[in-house]
């Protein structure tokens, strides 16, 4: 039995057949994959999931493919770590890190969404894929396209971190560095997607792409012993991830696979220098006011987020909140996570940890309730903003005397 019924508009509920489209013809609302949950529910169980591979594909039943995956086979099933030392520092007794800084193959949570998008691109018969990216998507599309034997055209803002550019070109992708910020890149990509027969991961394949993020939520619940945490702090770029983490847990709850209730509060984390979503939450405004981003957290520097409205709703409807942090706080948080947990996250992770710290201090996240911080990218990709803030190496000669002189 096919488990996907088709696509459906999130706003007016108009239905469409499964195809590479992402916007409703009637109301311009975003389209979402519709699953046949009663049918899936007949066979899915903790056992069938645990019998699957140690990757996000253990959740294949809840992903929108007709056949087996053909891209990103190793993505997902990243560690969920009990963060005792960070918790001690922040005065929190039940803190966890979901660590997608070590996702495979390109060290960010984007490996999940791209695995689904490119597998679906192949099912649709594309031989060329593309994306508009703030950096991590770039790396992941280029790497997974290379492995899947697809041509790749990548659109990036021309001020991207050097390691993200190198970590794209190396796979042989064509990289187009567009003058402007992500929102300019995205506008161009939509135009290109209308003209060429390319599978754009986050444009015409967006409904499928987005569902890859559900596995971040599925895995958190499974790794906590089949229960939902009380609080999750998620970074916000385009606003998709936060909604899909919740949806992943909701699916497991619907199937009766979780012990206890689903009462997870979702918290949106942004940089103050690009905070359209958290500002809307804090000022109790449903409308997103577009901004011109200017932050070191480039992977989440989206001034006019496609799913911003839904991200605001995810925080509000679950009883969560939104907070943002300064550039200095981002750097401090990166160092704090590294020195307590041995995890080097990129600037977006600094945002999440910094915001979690604030929310705990504000009393919004109680100090004894299960709390998961989403770490979505790797620090080796964004060394520029922190390299001058972490001290210097100690130069010595190759002698014991020189060592002791330097140290004591």
Q: Which residues bind ligand PLP (CB under 6 A)?
A: 108, 110, 136, 235-241, 299-300, 346, 348, 376-377
According to DSSP, the β-strands at 80-82 and 95-99 are antiparallel
User: Would you say 76 or 377 has its CB closer to ligand PLP?
Assistant: 377
Q: Does 6 bind Zn ion (CB under 5 A)?
A: no
CB under 5 to 8 A by kind: which of ligand PLP, Zn ion, none does 29 bind?
Zn ion
Q: Decide: is 360 part of the binding site for Zn ion (CB under 5 A).
A: no
- Indicate which of Zn ion, ligand PLP, none lies near residue 24 (CB less than 5 to 8 Å, by partner kind): Zn ion
Sign of CA dihedral 119, 176, 240, 345: positive
Q: How far is the CB of 4 from ligand PLP (least distance, A)?
A: 21
Pull the structure tokens for residue 116: 């689904």
Q: Which is nearer to Zn ion, 20 or 349 (CB)?
A: 20
- Whether residue 169 contacts residue 239, with contact meaning beta carbons closer than 8 Å, is answered with no
The DSSP element (H or E) to which 74 belongs, if any, is none
- Closest approach of ligand PLP to the CB of residue 72, in Å: 15
Category of 165 on φ-ψ map: left (φ > 0), alpha (ψ -120 to 50) or beta: alpha
Alpha carbon 212 to its chain's center = 9
Cα–Cα distance list, 149 to 19, 30, 74 (Å):
22, 29, 16
Q: Near Zn ion by CB under 5 A, which window of 14-22, 209-217, 219-227, 270-278? A: 14-22
Min CB(247)–ligand PLP separation in Å: 12
Question: Between 221 and 300, whose beta carbon lies closer to ligand PLP?
Answer: 300
Please tell me whether residue 11 binds Zn ion under the rule CB under 5 A: yes
Per the CB < 8 A criterion, the answer to whether 208 and 116 are in contact is yes
> Using CB distances below 5 to 8 A depending on partner kind, what does residue 237 bind out of Zn ion, ligand PLP, none?
ligand PLP
By C-beta, is 236 or 353 nearer to ligand PLP?
Answer: 236
Which lies closer to Zn ion via its Cβ, residue 29 or residue 79?
Answer: 29
CB of 373 within 8 A of CB of 83? yes
Least separation, in Å, of the C-beta of 166 and ligand PLP? 17
Termini Cα distance of the chain: 71
Nearest-angstrom CA–CA distance, 174 and 408: 52
Among 3, 7, 8, 9, binds Zn ion (CB under 5 A): 9
Q: Provide the b/e sequence for 184-194 (b: ≥16 CB within 10 Å).
A: bbbeebeebbe
Return all residues near 197 (Cβ < 8 A) that are at least 6 apart.
126, 128
Binding mask 18-57 for Zn ion (x = CB under 5 A): ------x-xx-x----------------------------
Query: Which of 112, 357 has the CB closer to ligand PLP?
Result: 112
Residue 380 within binding range of Zn ion, rule CB under 5 A = no
CB 76 within 8 A of CB 112: yes
Nearer to Zn ion, 11 or 184 (CB): 11
CB of 240 to ligand PLP, least distance (A): 3
- Asked if 334 and 353 touch (Cβ cutoff 8 Å), the reply is yes
Residue whose tokens read 């001058």: 388
DSSP class of residue 381 equals G
Nearer Cβ to Zn ion (24/62): 24
Cβ 339 to ligand PLP, closest distance in Å?
A: 20
Please, which residue, 235 or 354, has the CB nearer to ligand PLP? 235
Instruction: Print burial letters for 2-36: b (CB count within 10 Å at least 16), e (below 16).
Output: ebbeebbbbeeeeebebebbbbbeeeebbbbbbbe
Minimum Å gap between C-beta 138 and ligand PLP is 9
Q: Which is nearer to ligand PLP, 291 or 376 (CB)?
A: 376
Whole-number minimum distance, CB 28 to Zn ion, in Å?
7
Residue 7 engages Zn ion in binding (rule: CB under 5 A)? no
What's the closest the beta carbon of residue 258 comes to ligand PLP, in angstroms?
23
* CB 309, min distance to Zn ion, A: 14
Tokens of 251: 């699916």
Residues that bind Zn ion (CB under 5 A): 9, 11-12, 14, 24, 26-27, 29
């Amino acid at each position: 039995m096919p488990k996907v019924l088709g696509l459906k508009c999130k706003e007016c509920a108009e239905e469409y057949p499964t195809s590479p489209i992402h916007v409703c013809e009637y109301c311009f609302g975003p389209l979402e994959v519709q699953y046949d949950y009663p049918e899936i529910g007949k066979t899915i169980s903790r056992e069938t999931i645990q019998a699957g591979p140690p990757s996000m594909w253990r959740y294949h039943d809840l992903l929108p493919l007709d056949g087996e995956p053909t891209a990103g086979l190793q993505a997902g099933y990243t560690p969920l770590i009990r963060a005792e030392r960070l918790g001690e520092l922040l005065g929190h007794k039940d803190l966890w890190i979901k660590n997608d800084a070590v996702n495979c193959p390109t060290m960010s949570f984007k490996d999940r969404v791209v695995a689904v998008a490119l597998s679906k691109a192949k099912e649709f018969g594309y031989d060329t894929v593309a994306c508009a990216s703030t950096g991590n998507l770039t790396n992941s599309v280029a790497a997974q396209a290379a492995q899947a034997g697809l041509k790749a055209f990548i659109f990036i803002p021309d001020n991207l971190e050097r390691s993200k550019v190198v970590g794209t070109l190396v796979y042989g992708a064509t990289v187009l560095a567009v003058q402007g910020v992500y929102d300019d890149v995205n506008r161009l990509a939509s135009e290109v997607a209308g003209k060429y027969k390319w599978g754009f991961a986050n444009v015409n394949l967006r409904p499928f792409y987005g569902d890859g993020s559900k596995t971040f939520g599925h895995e958190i619940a499974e790794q906590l012993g089949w229960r939902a945490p009380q609080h999750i702090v998620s970074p916000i770029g385009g606003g998709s991830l936060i909604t899909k983490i919740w949806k992943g847990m909701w699916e497991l709850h619907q199937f009766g696979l979780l012990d206890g209730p689903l009462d997870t509060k979702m918290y949106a984390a942004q940089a103050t220098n690009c905070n359209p979503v958290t500002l809307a939450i804090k000022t109790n405004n449903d409308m997103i006011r577009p901004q011109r981003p200017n932050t070191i957290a480039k992977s989440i520097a989206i001034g006019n987020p496609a799913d911003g409205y839904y991200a605001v709703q995810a925080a509000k409807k679950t009883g969560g909140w939104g907070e943002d942090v300064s550039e200095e706080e981002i750097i401090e948080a990166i160092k704090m996570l590294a020195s307590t947990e041995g995890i080097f996250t990129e600037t977006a992770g600094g945002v999440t940890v910094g915001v979690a710290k604030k929310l705990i201090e504000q009393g919004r996240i109680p100090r004894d309730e299960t709390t998961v911080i989403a770490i979505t990218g790797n620090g080796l990709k964004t060394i520029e903003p922190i390299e001058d803030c972490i001290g210097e190496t100690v130069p010595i000669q190759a002698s014991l005397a020189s060592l002791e002189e330097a140290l004591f």
